[in-house]
Amino acid sequence: MFVRFLICLCLSVGLCLPALSFAQESNIIVIKNHKFSPSPLIIPANQKIQITVDNQDSTPEEFESFDLDREQVVEGNKKIIVFIGPLTPGTYNYWADYHQDSKGVIIAK
């Protein structure tokens, strides 16, 4: 009985996952010469946001942010999607983990 319950729970979660995905719009952060632009990136507060991180360098980089609780590698000349929010209004810092002097800011308004 317990196993059946778990299978049903699992199937239910799996089937509902696509419906629970509610990212709204795409914003772009470009990495070039190990620098982020634009910075700051202004995004709406209290909404789920999809950010495309476009690494135009030939070397990999890691988009890392304690404020946003994100840590994702983007390979050279590749793009990744970072899902964030909903965020309360405020300033959120991030940095390039492989070049830690390179920093950026996201402002939620």
Q: List contacts with another protein (CB under 8 A).
A: 2-3, 6-7, 10-11, 13-14, 17, 20-23, 48, 60, 62, 66, 69-73, 80-85, 88
Q: Minimum distance from CB of 66 to another protein (Å)?
A: 4
From the CB of 90, what's the least distance to another protein, in Å?
Answer: 10
Q: For residues 36 and 87, which CB has a smaller minimum distance to another protein in the complex?
A: 87
Q: Give least dist CB 42 to another protein, A.
A: 19
Task: Work out how close the CB of 83 gets to another protein at its nearest, in angstroms, rounded to a whole number.
Answer: 3
How many Cβ atoms are within 10 Å of 5's Cβ, its own excluded? 9
**Are 75 and 54 spatial neighbours (Cβ–Cβ below 8 Å)?**
no
* Residue recorded with tokens 């942010």: 65
Cβ nearer to another protein, comparing 80 with 107: 80
Strand pairing category for 99-108 and 41-43: parallel
Nearer to another protein, 38 or 76 (CB): 76
CB 37 within 8 A of CB 28: no
Place of tokens 């772009």: 28
Helices (H), 1-109: 2-20
